[in-house]
Structure 1
């Protein structure tokens, strides 16, 4: 029976997330992840052949984790406005519960070597984007208003607190909900 992996991909990605949170995207290097976990560099390279593969996997894993609940919020039976409010509130709640991972999303994929990601990761990201577009397809409002309600406003509200290393206040929820309601017409 083979010996279980001592340094799992998730453990290495968790260390990369902590590095990004503490020092920014440039701090996510193969050697820094190896040092942070105590893993031999070969273990890091075995799971992620390049820094771009490591960074891409970090981004895609984070996006998948956020999107699971977001899709559920957008897929309810409520009207379009209520679903958008639920989606926007999900983003705030998720960022509040996962501040380290939220820093990854705030950094953005370009800061994580997006042009150099291996094709399997870009393919996974495209599938995630298609899945989100499908969930948004029956929201009859202008796409730029939906994007503002679901992405721009929630991230603007949480960004200030996350960058200052503060918890996201409960009052952020009401602000985000009010903005989403104002941006999306009731159906």
Structure 2
């Protein structure tokens, strides 16, 4: 019977996430990942054909994990429990508040991953990614923005100004709250989730 691999893909990507959070994308190399887990370099090359593939996979795994929860919040019509301002009768506004809150909740629970996402796909070598990696990235982004577009329509955002307001409320605003603390090396304050939700609700009122 063949022995199971000692170092699996997720273990290697977890190490890459930590390296990126501590030193940025430049810190994520095949040798650094191998050293971080105590693996021979061959174990890393066995799972990733090269650094470009490694960078693509660590970015995509991180952003896809974030998007799953964000997409669920956007498409969940039930009002959030225990959020600032209490449950409201409008499912679209409840979903918007839940989505903004998710940004902070997820970032608090996954600090290294959230720090990684302060960068962009271009910082992780998107220009050199394979067609499959680019397809995965574009597909995930399209899925989320289609949901935001549908929510904007439900909120009555019929013109460009209104749609920009929704994007600001659901993406830019909660991300700016997270970014400020992560870049300062500070923990997110205990009121961050409520504050993100309050501000999103106020902007969409």
- Please give the TM-score of this superposition, normalised by the length of structure 1: 0.92
Q: Kindly state the Cα deviation for residue 63 of structure 1 after the two structures are TM-superposed.
A: 1.1
Q: Kindly state the Cα deviation for residue 111 of structure 1 after the two structures are TM-superposed.
A: 1.1
Counterparts of 1:74-93 in structure 2, within 5 Å, are 74-78=74-78, 79-93=91-105
SS of the equivalent of 1:106 reads coil
Structure showing greater radius of gyration is: 2
* Greater length-normalized contact order (CA 8 Å, ≥ 6 residues apart): 1
Counterparts of 1:15-164 in structure 2, within 5 Å, are 15-78=15-78, 79-139=91-151, 140=153, 141=157, 142-164=162-184
1:64-91 residue CA offsets vs partner (Å, 9 max, x unmatched): 1111111111112252222111101001
CA–CA separation in structure 1 for the residues paired with 2:131 and 2:3? 30
- Please give the TM-score of this superposition, normalised by the length of structure 2: 0.84
Listed as ranges, the gaps of 5+ residues in structure 2 are: 79-90
CA–CA separation in structure 2 for the residues paired with 1:55 and 1:5? 22
Output the aligned Cα RMSD.
1.5
Q: Kindly state the Cα deviation for residue 59 of structure 1 after the two structures are TM-superposed.
A: 1.0
Q: Are 2:194 and 1:182 aligned?
A: no
1:165-184 residue CA offsets vs partner (Å, 9 max, x unmatched): 22111222232112211332
CA–CA separation in structure 2 for the residues paired with 1:65 and 1:87? 14
Listed as ranges, the gaps of 5+ residues in structure 1 are: none
SS of the equivalent of 1:166 reads coil
Single out whichever of 36-45 and 88-97 deviates more from structure 2.
36-45
Q: Which runs of 4+ in 1 moved over 6 A?
A: none
Given that 1:95 and 1:102 are in contact with CA atoms closer than 8 Å, whether structure 2 keeps it comes out as yes
CA–CA separation in structure 2 for the residues paired with 1:83 and 1:145? 15
